[in-house]
Amino acid sequence: GKGNHRHYMEKEIHEQPAVIGDTLRSFTDPSSHRLALPDLPFDFAHPETRLQLVACGTAAYACMTARYWFEQLAGIPTSTDIASEYRYRDTPMTSRELGIFVSQSGETADTLAALRHVKAQGRPTLAIVNVAESTAAREADGMLRTLAGPEIGVASTKAFTTQLSTLACLAIGAARERGCLAASREAQLMQAMDEIPARLLQVLDQDQVFRDIASMLAGAGYVLYLGRGAMYPIALEGALKLKEVSYIKAEGYAAGELKHGPIALVDEEVPVIAVAPSDHLFEKTASNLQEVAARGGKVILFSDAAGIAAMGDLPVASVTLPAVDPFVAPILMSLPVQLLAYHTAVAKGTDVDQPRNLAKSVTVE
């Protein structure tokens, strides 16, 4: 049941500290606190290793986020694609390329077709799934399981953040195998991962702030989400979540693309959600937000205390999130975009758990 929550989506958002903790513990040695992934049937250490990550919807945004981790931490050239495109594109694969398929259900038709396409080329496959008995888990050469537990809400929440947590562990493991991760940095990263559940609880404690911003969004006709680096896929996920459950037209953009089109839509009516922790890209995003504000756009800033202080009174609203290691920031930043979508849908009175036209699992093409 939903316990004391109004909707499954709300319950599942609140379960995230626990299920992320479970997922991380399943990949950690309890005595040493070091990462301990199961044996996987491929070699990350080879200098020619490449990764192709494939999924649909929210799972595809988890893949896009992981690309930053695999490239920046492990130095592995990585491509991501949505399964419906990948399966028909006949992309040539290199001899050291590994296919990674991310799916909550493990039954998404396009993702399975993409997996079979990679297998047919004789390349190894890894499935990251929430349902251990699923087709993807059965057919792939290797499997990592997210421990989100059953997800009932059609809009993915805890499945997404446990996928991110699993992919982050895999990137740390790959970086270690490749010898490009100092033991001290690895310990730091594991510490930052360990602290995620506690940091997420701090975000959940701010529920009222999201309700207030949601009452502002409920009347909007269009909402723009901006993010840079690993926050770009989180902006995409924020927009997807909002459109799925509140039916408000929303788009996510890389902040650097603002000038190349979407700024034409910005006026006094348009809320612009900036997902922007105070990392090495913050200043770039800050200048994009100045451009938004100059056109009357209503900037709503999700950042940490330093980022919010730096923006002064430019935002019409802001949410102060805990400052965390930039590596884990995408996992933390997923929560505010979910809470905002949820409370906006509640304010509009839509069917949060069963949005119109959507199915939980898309098993036909």
Binding status of residue 56 toward ligand M6R by CB under 6 A: yes
Provide the b/e sequence for 36-62 (b: ≥16 CB within 10 Å). ebeebebebeeeebbbbbbbbbbbbbb
CA–CA dist 230, 255 (Å, integer): 11
Tokens of 178: 């490749």
Catalytic residue ranges: 360
Distance CA(51)–CA(37), nearest Å, equals 18
Q: Identify the residue whose tokens are 């929210």.
A: 58
Cα–Cα dist 19/25, whole Å: 10
CA distance linking residue 181 with residue 50, whole number of Å:
18
Can you read off the two tokens belonging to residue 173? 């493991």
Residues 308-327 that bind ligand M6R (CB under 6 A): none
Nearer to ligand M6R, 21 or 355 (CB): 355
Query: Which residue reads 């920031």 in tokens?
Result: 329
Given the rule CB under 6 A, which of 23-31, 91-99, 152-160, 293-301 is the region that contacts ligand M6R?
A: 152-160
Distance of CA 199 to the CA centre of its chain: 16
| Interaction of residue 334 with ligand M6R, rule CB under 6 A | no
Residues 242-281: x/- map of binding to ligand M6R (CB under 6 A)?
A: --x-------------------------------------
Instruction: Say which amino acid occupies 310.
Output: A
Applying CB under 6 A, among 103, 135, 161, 303 the residue interacting with ligand M6R is 103
Q: Which one among 23, 105, 165, 278 touches ligand M6R, defined by CB under 6 A?
A: 105
* Stretch of residues binding ligand M6R (CB under 6 A), selected from 101-109, 112-120, 140-148, 293-301: 101-109
The single residue among 59, 82, 168, 281 that binds ligand M6R, judged by CB under 6 A, is 59
Q: Does 135 bind ligand M6R (CB under 6 A)?
A: no
Chosen residue from 16, 80, 108, 125 binding ligand M6R by CB under 6 A: 108
Nearer to ligand M6R, 78 or 156 (CB): 156
222-227/50-55 β-pairing: unpaired
**Contact between 82 and ligand M6R per CB under 6 A:** no
Binding site for ligand M6R (CB under 6 A): 56-59, 103-105, 108, 111, 154-156, 244, 358, 361-362
